[in-house]
Structure formats: C-alpha cells, structure tokens
Amino acid sequence: MADSAGTAQLTAAAPATPTLRRSVTPWGSFSWGYSDVGADIFVGLGLVLGAAAGASNVAFLFAGVVYVCVGLAYTELAAAYPVAGGGQYFVMRGLGDIFGFIAGWAVLLDFTIDITLFAWSCIDYLSKLLPILAFTIHPWTHFWTVLLLIVGLATLNFIGVRESSAFNEVVSGLDIASETAILFFGFVFAFRPELLIHTMHTSWPTPFNLMNGVSLAIISFVGLESISQAAQETQRPASVIPRTSISLILTILIFALSYSNLALGMQPAHALPLDAHGHEQQLWAFLGNEDNNGASVQVLASLVPYYGALAALYVPVLGAILLLISSNSGVFGSSRIAYAMSQARLLPSLFRSVHPKFRTPAVSIAIFCGFAILELIFAALPSISPGSKDVYARLFRGEDGITFLGDLYAFGAAASYSFVFLALISLRLNDPAVPRKFKMPFNIPFTYRGARVEFPLVAVVGFLGIFSILFFVMLTHVIGRIAGPSWIVLGIFGYLAYRRYKGYPMFRSRPHDWRNQQTKILQEAGELELMDEYLSNLKAVDEQRAKAGSA
C-alpha cells in the first residue's frame, strides 16, 4: 500500500492537463498492430521465396524465433511502461538519451520505408485486377501511381483525416478470416508433404542466399511496436497489452510459417506458365519472381483449389486495403514518434509544432513523406531509367526496387530491436521496482546493487538472433550496408548538433524523474493496483539498497 512518501508522489503525479482518452479496446489494440504487421507477409513472402528458395520455411522459422523474442520483450516493456513512444522510450529509459535517439531514428527509417514499401505493394496487388498498373510492364505508371498514393496519404494526414479505427478493426477481422480460409483450403486440398520435402531437397539455397532470405524474412514480422505506441490510449494496458501482443505474435507466426510451407509443398490448381527460358517452374519460383513477388499472397491464393476462384476476386482488394492502411500507419507513426522524440528533447521542437489550422504535425508529415518519396525514386530508378539500371547492376548487384526497400526495412527493424533487448536487460537490473504484469520466461534471479533482480535469458537469445539478422542484412545487401548505417550516422550528427545548440548534455542524458513519471503513467493508465505495488516496491528496494550500502 502507498506510504506517506508514496502518497506525496501520487499527489505530485496527479494529472493537471487533459490526457489521451483510453478508448482502445483489446480488439482495437490487436487490429492496430495487425494492420501494421499483418500486411508484412503480403510483401515478405515473395521476397523470401525469391531469395531462400527451398529453405524459405527455415528462413521464416529463424526470423520467427527472433520475432517471438522481440515480441515478448515488447510485451513486457509495453505492459510495464504503457506510454506513447514505444521502443524509443524504452531504450531512452534503459540506456540513456543518445541510445534512445538512435533506436527512435532507426524506427523512423522503418516508418518512412513503411510508407513507400506498402504503397508500392498496394499497387502491385491492385495490378492483379488492373494490369495497367503492373510494375514490370508499365514502370512509369506504377511509379506515378505510388507517388500519388504517398502524396495523397500525406495530404490526408496533413489536413487531419485518418481512417476510422472501426474500419481498421473490420479490415483486420476480414483479413484474418480470409487468410485462415486460404491456408485451410490450401492445406486440405493442395498440400503434399512429399512435395515439400522434395522442394526443400532439390532447391536448398546457398548459405549466402539463406542469410539473404533470413534477413528479408524479418520484414514479415515488423510493426509489433504499433501496439506499444498505442499503449497510452489502450484500456487497462498492463492487462490488455500482453494478451494482444502475444496473440499478434502467434497469429503472424502461424501465418508466416503456414504460408512458407504451403508455398513449398502446394500442388497448384492450375498449371503454371513456363519461365523465360521455356522451362516448367516450381510454385515457389513463380511466387518469388519479379512479376509476382510484390503480390505473392494473392497469386498463391488464386492457385488454391476451389477457394482460389473466389480468392482471386477479393484478395487483391483486401490485400491492397490492408497495405494501404499499413502505409498510412507509416505516415502517422513517423509523426507520432518524431513528436515523442521531440518532447524528450531528442529532436528539435520543429517536430512537435502543430499546424495552426489543421492541428496536425504538418512539418513532421512533410519531412518524413519527403524521405519516403526519395526512397521511392531510388527504388524505382533502375526500372524507369535504363541508364541507371547498369549503374545499379555494377554497384548494388542489380537489386530490384522492392528488394531495396525490404533491405532498409530489415535494417531499421534489426537496429532498433537490438537496442530494445539491451534496454530490457538494463531496466530489469536498474528498475526492478516497476511491476511487470508480464515477464519474459527463463530468468536468473540474483542480487544487484542490493536489490533482488532477474536476468532475462530470452533477451540475450533475442539479442543474438536479431544482431545476427542485422549482420546478415549488412553482409548480403549492398544498399542496406551503405544506406542504413548512413541514415544512423547522419542522424547522430544532427542529434549532437541539436543538443550542443540547446546546451543539453551531448552524450549523457538530461535529468529525468523516472519515479514520478512511472507513478503518473500507471495512474493515468487506470492501473491503480499496479501503482500501489510500484510504490510499495520502491520503498522495499530503497530499504534493501540502504541496508546493503550501510553493510
């Protein structure tokens, strides 16, 4: 129970200004994350099949294990610290301001890629109904359509129009039902275990291609942090977020592993077209080629017996809507993160300025959509300009546009997740008083600076996993090796210049009253029992440390 000191903290933490209304329900929280992560498999499946061939399921399994660790880390942190900001906030709190900036800056890279990659893939899906939009046949039309889509989303967010959350929830529900149906019919009527074994045996990739596949597979699992970013608006976040996060982890994992195994072991309902050399091609190769890798789920669905005829009609539309929502989440996600980072004095105040008429973070939207358009131009250049194709072939091993976007997406995710694992370990050691309604399993208890703490083994496994994926990205993707670190280094220079200009510590952190802030967070979250537990834990930890100090 709260003691007098705790009561004083509680009083000090009483909210003086109106705060975000907690209106996001469990399904709302889930669909918030699903509309971001759920769209990833629509993009990732084709890319991974193209790279990892007969070992695509293994690539997804490796990335999936890492993703489970990432998911568990986010679940623990978002339930313990239910604030807007997500990974950037956890890292700032666990490792300090500069690392918080790097993690947030990497997430911002992901969000700008998110805008372009999903707008690109959205048009790819629509092109299955409207062939005039096909990237390989009409690259200029494809480019202009994606560009217009990005500008349109930026404008809508600029004037303050957002898709209704109810619409988001309905689309997520429909998509889960649809994907479950595709997989069910696919497994029941077209899956052949012997074909799966045969494909894995005959089309096993080289180690380099397998690493390439693993590095691309991680993009099928990016976006879980959307749930933690919405934590501040979620009802009873400490109880609800662990459920929605774990459900999201399981749902996406089931889909990714099922799709990859189905793609390797499915007997298509119709004969596939011959490849460019006139040879028969296997399903995985067909899904992973440049014509289909942007819309592989739709192509696979259309080849499922019985259900495929129906799926061919609606999956392009449903996929396009989900991808559009995901692209839009990149627009408002980047401005939200930039706003939170600016509030924490990690970015200039420019990023939290609000348009006087529309009351939206117009500058952030313009800047990050501008970056997204630059990425689009860079990705589309080899297709729309034959001259640059040779340059790309020489410098970047001829990677296509969507693979370039996938590289950077994987880089940003792997970089920020690496820091999140380190932050989790640091917070376990340095902030043991915070009640953790959900904890990663497999912990080693010991005494650290006089207080009982638990060391998370899964965080170490997760860190090694995600760091290896970061290594794979750097090793296998020429553009990712150059563009990703360049983004981080330029960001750090900008951060140091801003902190110096403002007179803030450049490498150290500004003083933070984390205790009062945590009390306020739990109070505003409506987690009063956890708040009592926190205040009581604080007292106990202080006593333990005082006793250890005097001894």
User: Using the rule CB under 8 A, which residue among 9, 88, 244, 327 binds other proteins?
Assistant: 244
In whole angstroms, give the CA distance from residue 59 to residue 494.
Answer: 36
183 interacts with other proteins by CB under 8 A? yes
User: Using the rule CB under 8 A, which residue among 190, 295, 440, 451 binds other proteins?
Assistant: 190
Shortest distance in whole angstroms from residue 486 CB to other proteins:
40
User: Using the rule CB under 8 A, which residue among 27, 167, 314, 504 binds other proteins?
Assistant: 27
Shortest distance in whole angstroms from residue 323 CB to other proteins:
21
Stretch that binds other proteins, among 99-107, 160-168, 253-261, 482-490 (CB under 8 A): 253-261
User: Using the rule CB under 8 A, which residue among 13, 30, 103, 135 binds other proteins?
Assistant: 30
Q: Which is nearer to other proteins, 79 or 331 (CB)?
A: 79
Shortest distance in whole angstroms from residue 189 CB to other proteins:
4
Shortest distance in whole angstroms from residue 260 CB to other proteins:
13
Query: What per-residue string of b and e applies to 7-34 under the rule 16 or more CB within 10 Å gives b?
Result: eebbeebeeeeeeeebebebebbbbbbb
Stretch that binds other proteins, among 243-251, 413-421, 470-478, 511-519 (CB under 8 A): 243-251
439 interacts with other proteins by CB under 8 A? no
Strands 451-456 and 443-448: antiparallel
Shortest distance in whole angstroms from residue 232 CB to other proteins:
18
Residues between 305 and 364 with contacts to other proteins, criterion CB under 8 A? 305-306
Burial class (CB in 10 A: 0-12, 13-18, 19+), 183: buried
Q: Contact, 142 vs 376, CB < 8 A? A: no
Stretch (H or E) spanning 444: strand 443-448
82 interacts with other proteins by CB under 8 A? no
Residues between 122 and 181 with contacts to other proteins, criterion CB under 8 A? 176, 180
Q: Which is nearer to other proteins, 67 or 185 (CB)?
A: 185
Helix (H, G, I), strand (E, B) or coil at 443: strand
536 interacts with other proteins by CB under 8 A? no
In whole angstroms, give the CA distance from residue 211 to residue 182.
Answer: 28
User: Using the rule CB under 8 A, which residue among 138, 236, 439, 545 binds other proteins?
Assistant: 236
What residue type is 273 in one-letter code?
P
187 interacts with other proteins by CB under 8 A? yes
Query: What per-residue string of b and e applies to 120-131 under the rule 16 or more CB within 10 Å gives b?
Result: bbbbbbbbbeee
In whole angstroms, give the CA distance from residue 61 to residue 66.
Answer: 9
Stretch that binds other proteins, among 190-198, 212-220, 412-420, 493-501 (CB under 8 A): 190-198
User: Using the rule CB under 8 A, which residue among 191, 404, 419, 498 binds other proteins?
Assistant: 191
Stretch that binds other proteins, among 77-85, 251-259, 390-398, 514-522 (CB under 8 A): 251-259
234 interacts with other proteins by CB under 8 A? no
In whole angstroms, give the CA distance from residue 437 to residue 348.
Answer: 35
Helix (H, G, I), strand (E, B) or coil at 339: helix
Q: Which is nearer to other proteins, 183 or 325 (CB)?
A: 183
251 interacts with other proteins by CB under 8 A? yes
Q: Which is nearer to other proteins, 70 or 525 (CB)?
A: 525
Residues between 468 and 527 with contacts to other proteins, criterion CB under 8 A? 526-527
Burial class (CB in 10 A: 0-12, 13-18, 19+), 480: buried
Residue with tokens 């019985």, as numbered in its chain? 306
Number of residues that bind other proteins (CB under 8 A): 41
In whole angstroms, give the CA distance from residue 69 to residue 467.
Answer: 12
Q: Which is nearer to other proteins, 305 or 450 (CB)?
A: 305
**Helix 401-430 crosses helix 207-217 at what angle (to 10 degrees)?**
70
In whole angstroms, give the CA distance from residue 509 to residue 439.
Answer: 27
What six digits make up the tokens of 354? Answer: 């609000």
Residue with tokens 């300090």, as numbered in its chain? 96
In whole angstroms, give the CA distance from residue 308 to residue 268.
Answer: 10
User: Which residue ranges make up the site for other proteins (CB under 8 A)?
Assistant: 26-27, 30, 176, 180, 183-193, 195, 236, 239-240, 243-244, 246-247, 250-251, 254, 258, 261, 267-272, 305-306, 526-529
